[in-house]
Amino acid sequence: MAVNPSFPYRYERFHVASIAVRCTKNSAVLRSFKRFENFELESKGVVVRKTTLAAIAVEAGVSLPTVSKVVNGRPDVAPSTRARVEQLLDQHKYPRTGQRAQRRSGLIDLVFNGLDSPWAVEILRGVEEWGAEHSTAIAVSSVRHGDARPASWTSAIASHHSDGVILVTSTLTGSQLGQLKGAGIPLVVIDPANTPPPDIPSVGATNWAGGLAATEHLLSLGHRRIAAITGPMDMLCSLARLDGYRSALERAGIAVDSLLVRYGDFQHEGGFAHAMELLDLPDRPTAIFAGSDQQAFGVYQAARRHGLRIPDDLSIIGFDELPVSRWASPPLTTVRQPLTEMGRTAAQMLGDLIDGGPLRTNRVELSTELHIRDSTSPPRKEVP
Domain final position from 92, 123, 139: 92
Give the mean model confidence (pLDDT) for residues 237-246.
97
Least confident of 13-22, 75-84, 102-111, 139-148: 13-22
Residue 330 lies inside a defined structural domain of this protein: yes
Pick the more confident residue, 151 or 7. 151
Which range, 44-58, 59-73, 190-204, is most confident? 190-204
Give the per-residue pLDDT at 96. Answer: 56
Confidence of residue 23 (pLDDT cuts 50, 70, 90): very low
Query: Which residue range forms the structural domain that includes residue 183?
Result: 107-205+340-366
pLDDT surpassing 80 at residue 46: no
Task: Return the bridge partners of 335, or none.
Answer: 319, 370
Residues 6+ apart with CB under 8 A from 60: 66, 67, 81, 84, 85, 88
Three-state DSSP class for residue 356? coil
Q: CB-based contacts of 382: which residues, under 8 Å, 6+ apart? A: none
Average pLDDT, the chain: 82
Based on the structure, what is the number of domains in the chain?
3
- Residue 372 placed within a domain: no
Span 255-281, average pLDDT? 97
221 and 177 fall within a common domain = no
Q: What pLDDT is recorded for position 72? A: 65
Question: pLDDT at position 106, please?
Answer: 86
Within a domain: 43:
no
Kindly tell me the burial class for residue 54, based on how many C-beta atoms sit within 10 Å of its own C-beta (0-12, 13-18, 19 or more).
exposed
- If asked whether residues 133 and 159 sit together in one domain, one would say yes
Is 317 within the bounds of a domain? yes
pLDDT-wise least confident of 18-22, 79-83, 164-168, 340-344: 18-22
User: Residue 288's domain is classified under what CATH number?
Assistant: 3.40.50.2300
Residue 180 lies in a domain: yes
Q: Is residue 100 part of a domain?
A: no
Which pLDDT score is estimated for 51? Answer: 62
CB 138 within 8 Å of CB 127: yes
**Distance (Å, rounded) from C-alpha 184 to C-alpha 202?**
18
Whether 63 and 144 map to the same domain: the answer is no
The mean pLDDT value for 17-24 works out to 35
Q: Has residue 243 got a pLDDT over 70? A: yes
Q: Buried (b) or exposed (e) across 275-288, using 16+ Cβ within 10 A?
A: bbebbeeeebbbbb
Residues 181 and 194 in one domain: yes
DSSP run (H or E) holding 109: strand 107-112
Q: Quick one: pLDDT at residue 103?
A: 52
Per-residue confidence (pLDDT) for residue 48, from 0 to 100: 40
**What single-letter amino acid sits at 360?**
R
Helix (H) or strand (E) holding 341: helix 339-354
Q: pLDDT tier at 151 (50, 70, 90 boundaries)?
A: low
112 & 148 share domain:
yes
- Final residue before a domain boundary, out of 69, 92, 115: 92
Do residues 314 and 216 both lie within one domain? yes
Which tens digits make up the pLDDT trace of 78-135?
878 888 888 888 888 765 544 444 456 789 999 998 777 888 999 999 999 999 999 9
Q: Are 142 and 217 contained in the same domain?
A: no
| Residue 258 shares a structural domain with residue 331 | yes
pLDDT digits (tens, 9 = 90+) for 153-208: 787 787 777 899 999 987 777 888 888 888 888 999 999 888 888 889 999 999 99
CATH number at 67 reads 1.10.260.40
More confident residue, 4 or 135: 135
pLDDT at 18 over 90: no
| 234 & 199 share domain | no
Say if 197 falls within a structural domain: yes
Least confident of 141-155, 226-240, 247-261, 307-321: 141-155
Q: Are residues 241 and 330 in the same domain?
A: yes
Pair 191, 122 in one domain:
yes
Q: What percent of the chain has pLDDT over 70?
A: 79
Instruction: Please write the tens of the pLDDT for every residue from 284-314.
Output: 999 999 999 999 999 999 999 999 999 999 9
Whether 48 maps to a domain, the answer reads no
Looking at the fold, whether 231 and 324 belong to one and the same domain comes out as: yes
Could you tell me the pTM of the whole model?
Answer: 0.72
* Residues 364-378 pLDDT 10s: 999 999 999 999 999
Give me the percent of the chain exceeding a pLDDT of 90. 54
